[in-house]
Structure 1
Amino acid sequence: WKDRRKSGILTSEAVKQPVAVRYGWANNPVGNLYNEADLPAFPFRTDNWLLNWDKSRFEAMSLLELAAYIQRNIQPSQLEIKSVWDEVYQGIQTNNKGLASQRLQTLINQKLEDEKLAIALQVLLEKLEFPS
């Protein structure tokens, strides 16, 4: 199951078409995955599901907090969409809310694969257009 010494390939007869993998995903997990230096693997997950996130959590953040959260955790991965997000983020950082709002509207009109990102962007637009 080892591939090029830096990654592993996981398979299971019980799961023919997996959609995600989690390792050590619990409080105080007991791990059994080690590298060749006998160091334990860090817990990880490959999914990006909403879990307990809903719109109200994003609404509770300030404009800058939400923009920073998106930048750190859920920014778009598609290159052309990411470049538009970079313009939005730069506009927010430089207080150019007109540009940020315009480019954010362009992003929202795109087909976004990540539902969490779509919700966060919509809340961000509301915060730009109707500051509290």
Structure 2
Amino acid sequence: MYDRLREIDEAIAAGREALEALEDAADSLDSAKRWGIVDILGGGLITSVIKHSRLGDANHALADARVALARFSAELDDVRGVAGLTAEVNRWNAFFDIACDNWLADIFVQKEMSDAADRVDEAIETVKRAVRRLEDARRA
């Protein structure tokens, strides 16, 4: 019984760690999307650079999340499929966005950021559900 509770506690801790990293990534993606809107509406080179910096922040948070998710998925089968998350923008779109700095490139990058944000939001919900199930099992 004690071993089972300890394993559940370890899984809950790993899930919470993954959630924290995923939420950091979601925040960075939201910031990047806001900068993307500014860029679409007439931002310049600086705006594009800031936007891509925020994307880099999101990727660092997602790298942390992948480590925590790997630990979490060792305990659970429920979180399979979320370990491959990235917020990367196609390299050519990123180059085109910064080098050419036009509205068309801005829109392509904005779409990629929105898709990444949707994937992160889905992962957050999946992990939250799994953690809730663990917490319920712990109380039972």
After TM superposition, the score normalised by the length of structure 1 is 0.36
- Looking at secondary structure, tell me which structure has more strand per residue: 1
Larger Rg: 1
After TM superposition, the score normalised by the length of structure 2 is 0.34
